[in-house]
Amino acid sequence: MNRLDRETSPYLRQHADNPVHWYPWCAEALERARREDRPILLSIGYSACHWCHVMAHESFEDPATAALMNRLFVNIKVDREERPDLDRIYQTAHQLLTRRAGGWPLTVFLDPQDLCAFFAGTYFPPQPRYGLPGFPELLERVAAFFHEERAAIREQNQRLQAALAELLPEGRHAGELSAIPLDLARQQLGRAFDERHGGFGGAPKFPQPHILERLLRHWTATGDDQALHMVRHTLRGMAYGGLYDHLGGGFYRYCVDERWEIPHFEKMLYDNGQLLALYAQAFAATGEERFAQVAEETAAWMLAEMQAPQGGFYSALDADSAGGEGAYYLWDRDAVRASLGAAEYEAFARHYNLAEAPNFEGRWHLRRRREAPEPTGTELELLASARLELLRIRRTRPAPARDEKILTAWNALAIRGLALAARHLGHLGHLGTGQPASEQTPARWLEAATRAADFIHTHLWREGRLRACWTAGRIGPAGYLDDHAFLLDALLELLQVHWHEAHLAWARDLAEALLKHFADADGGFYFTAHDHERLPHRPKPYGDEALPSGNGVAARALLRLGQLLDEPRYLQAAEAALRNAWSSLVELPHAHNTLLGVLEEWREPPQRIVLRGDPETLRPWQRACLVPFAPRRLCLAIPDTATALPPALAVCRPRDGGPVAYLCEGTHCGPPLATLADLQKALHAGAAA
């Protein structure tokens, strides 16, 4: 019997009609496996995963393969987005067992007694190919191995558990928290940089926004022009190449080649939230209009296609649609020519390389040459009208499926991205050259971010803790480290763009939840709460992956909130995380870029500014503080009518004669600044220092 039809996850429900007797991860399945002494076949994937769909069609929908699975195993299906704890544990186990990186679908065989993985892989074909065994043959061999080699499995499981335990840092570094990891990371990233195409390493090539943000901050702190070059060259490669959707806005997951030409076509909220923030910051740092346009179009895509009516953001668009992977986004040249006027087609074909050979299975996936000049005048108008017409045609095609889970952590990344875009691209200053102002304004981005935050507070905040997801009115499991840390970080960005007393109170509650439920006495934060289900391993992740490190974001947010509120417990928790992670920071600094940002801010605390006055009168003061790229600056513009303030902010009193600014550097706070000119002079002096 298949038990997935009652699940909240769209991915699990995709498998509800399989002849496999799937369970979700639950006590009933685990108990049955122990009682019947059957190995567990654990399959982890997600709804937008192309190879997950391939394996489902080839194997899980096949009656003969399903019968074999049902006879030999207790079969459990997991959505990695709902249960990132399980995915993290068993991806790590896969890497330790196979000495290779994992991926999805993840196929893991577990001993029912201790839930340790004794065999792991990813995609397996129905018959032997790609150097892989056929899945039915593998099932028979694994089941036989489980029943015939129990002693060997127990010994291997003990070694695996010991290896997992060794991944946790022990104790705290007692010495100086020096700048050595910052310098080493810059050297390592420079060696890994692809000078020709941008990005780091070869194919497949991922965006890695945490690396680029680190380099952008490094350039700001040191004036290292090569670091800025790596950022600009990579951002241009992604924005002009095939990773970017040139008609609809937004980014695909990654590119299969080193040239940023052909993507894996799924679109994930977490990528786009991070890249929106990065392109907005890069525009603020460089003034490059293409970066503003990409940010604006990405924000427009998020609001148009990913925001639910209730306010939260959906998680993903599938890579596949009718016609196969990427079919929704591909073009036939003759069809483009027939759809556009002659002048439009000539401009569009030249701009998007339609005169060249097709680049994806006989069709064209749109991309631009980064060295081509930016269009102006009549050509710009022709391209705009051509894009609108082709986008209209594209919307008549069968669209990729949308996973309508609303994930707390991913929504937090979207909120942060929208807040930073509103900050740098127009709510307080510039509006770039992307979408028409009547349809796409930074004020709408701020409103969308606020609606998403309010949705999470209403639907996913329960008794002082977050839940991880919401789907069609049903809430998912208890929240993880990333949920609490990412949302605290996002609220701090939102508060800088728009003061809201309730958001500050919520930020303090989130900080308390981190300390109460996730903190380790030795320093740092576990991925799961103290009262979470007991599993073979309790990770404490310090390194960045596709998502930024939960420990890094938690430490950054606590450090900043502690400095704003003068709360030593938050500052101590951030320092303890750095000290507990120190050996990892020294050994692999380039893999810990989010934590490196915390180290930088711990060594040189951000400039803290509190503005008081009438909100409209404060607007130019806010612009002076927040529109430029100043990553080591925190600014709150608090209305003069606000009264319920914590003590550290209440001392910043309004002034009868107009706005006033209070500016602190480290432990030193200067006298109140009563004119905008005085504030600008102080900001300039701080930037020069």
pLDDT band at 685 (very low <50, low <70, confident <90, very high): confident
Domain boundaries, the chain: 10-166, 180-320+402-603, 327-394, 607-688
Q: What is the pLDDT of residue 184?
A: 97
Cis previous bond, 105, omega within 30? yes
Fold of 180-320+402-603: Glycosyltransferase (1.50.10)
| pLDDT tens readout for residues 55-113 | 999 999 999 999 999 999 999 999 999 999 999 999 999 999 999 999 999 999 999 99
Q: Which residue has the higher pLDDT, 688 or 371?
A: 371
- Work out whether strand 660-665 and strand 607-613 pair parallel, antiparallel, or are unpaired: antiparallel
pLDDT band at 433 (very low <50, low <70, confident <90, very high): very low
Q: What is the pLDDT of residue 689?
A: 60
pLDDT band at 668 (very low <50, low <70, confident <90, very high): confident
Q: What is the pLDDT of residue 428?
A: 55
Lowest mean pLDDT among 154-163, 288-297, 365-374: 365-374
CB-based burial, 602-615: b 16+ in 10 Å, e otherwise: beebbbbbbbbbee
What would the DSSP string read from start to end of 477-502? SBP-HHHHHHHHHHHHHHHHHS--HH
Instruction: Inform me whether the pLDDT recorded for 434 exceeds 50.
Output: no
| pLDDT tens readout for residues 531-584 | 999 999 999 999 999 999 999 999 999 999 999 999 999 999 999 999 999 999
H or E element in which residue 466 lies: strand 465-466
Judge if 10-166 and 180-320+402-603 fold alike in CATH terms: no
How far, CA to CA in Å, does 48 sit from each of 279, 414, 479, 658? 24, 18, 22, 53
Fold of 607-688: Glutaredoxin (3.40.30)
Give me Rg for the CA atoms of the chain: 26
Q: What is the pLDDT of residue 130?
A: 85
The CATH number of 10-166 is 3.40.30.10
- Closest listed residue to residue 68, CA positions, set 162, 171, 143, 178: 143
